[in-house]
């Protein structure tokens, strides 16, 4: 049986990108966020709140992807606290990258950038999929800084937060040479 060509292409692209990045900077450098254009650093990510022109979840995600990131994926209570405390001091509702729209077969929540789910903060009685139309998630933040998540119709218009994650998934060349692409991917 012939091997699919795309497996070989993906390995080559990954090795080249990883090799270029490792020759330019140390492994796992802190991200350099474009603060002039509103990006703020926390941990190994850059965040930017988009406000003023509210968009649907899909349009907001497209905006983030155009900037080289995605809607924010929140992996811990510390990260959520940062997002709510540092990016704005007022109450707001923001799109985050949590939705049921990413997966076609399974109806469950996933992060739009593929980050594994390790943290949720649903509000009381959420998610409730009101009228069977709530597939996207907003983070609701109150004036006192507390936040919770609510499922919402993806066509609603909200502000949003983009996130650019530092590239940290590059395999070592040794690991790649001993495994096929699919075996490496499954072991990562």
C-beta separation of 109 from 137 below 8 A: yes
Distance CA(11)–CA(94), nearest Å, equals 36
- Cα-Cα-Cα-Cα dihedral sign, residues 109, 111, 112, 115: negative
**Contact (Cβ atoms closer than 8 angstroms) between residue 161 and residue 47:** yes
pLDDT recorded at residue 85: 79
pLDDT digits (tens, 9 = 90+) for 89-115: 565 789 999 998 755 555 689 999 999
The model's pLDDT over 143-183, given as tens digits with 9 standing for 90+, comes to 777 899 999 999 999 999 999 986 544 433 333 333 343 34
pLDDT for 58 beyond 90 = yes
Residues 6+ apart with CB under 8 A from 63: 50, 55, 160, 162
Count of residues for the chain?
188
* Cα 60 to the center of its chain, rounded Å: 12
Cα(167)–Cα(18) distance, integer angstroms: 9
Apex CA 78: angle with CA 80 and CA 22, to 5°? 95
Rounded CA gap, 72 and 162, in Å? 5
Residue 29 has pLDDT above 90, yes or no: no
Q: Where are the domains of the chain?
A: 1-25+171-188, 45-165
Query: What integer pLDDT is reported at residue 154 of this predicted model?
Result: 96
Contact status, residue 91 vs residue 135, Cβ threshold 8 Å: no
What pLDDT does 126 receive? Answer: 95
- Residues forming a β-bridge with 160: 50, 95
Q: What is the number of alpha carbons within 13 Å of residue 54 lying toward its C-beta?
A: 11
pLDDT, mean of residues 56-74: 95
The arithmetic mean of pLDDT across residues 17-30, rounded, is: 42
Please state which CATH number belongs to domain 45-165.
3.10.100.10
Using the predicted structure, report yes or no on whether residue 13 has a pLDDT greater than 80. Answer: no
- Residue 84 and residue 100: Cα distance in Å, rounded? 23
């Amino acid at each position: 049986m012939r091997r699919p060509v795309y497996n070989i292409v993906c390995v080559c692209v990954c090795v080249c990108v990883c090799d270029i990045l490792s020759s330019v900077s140390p492994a796992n450098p802190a991200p350099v966020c474009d603060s002039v254009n509103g990006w703020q650093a926390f941990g190994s990510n850059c965040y930017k709140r988009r406000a003023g022109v509210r968009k649907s979840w899909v349009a907001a995600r497209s905006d983030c992807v155009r900037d080289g990131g995605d809607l924010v994926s929140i992996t811990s209570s510390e990260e959520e606290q940062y997002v709510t405390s540092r990016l704005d001091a007022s109450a707001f509702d923001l799109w985050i990258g949590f939705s049921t729209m990413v997966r076609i077969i399974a109806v469950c929540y996933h992060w739009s950038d593929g980050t594994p789910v390790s943290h949720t903060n649903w509000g009381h009685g959420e998610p409730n999929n009101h009228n069977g139309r709530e597939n996207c998630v907003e983070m609701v933040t109150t004036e006192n800084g507390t936040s919770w998540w609510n499922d919402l119709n993806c066509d609603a218009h909200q502000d949003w937060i983009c996130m650019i994650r530092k590239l940290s998934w590059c395999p070592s060349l040794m690991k790649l040479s001993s495994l096929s692409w699919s075996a490496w991917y499954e072991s990562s």
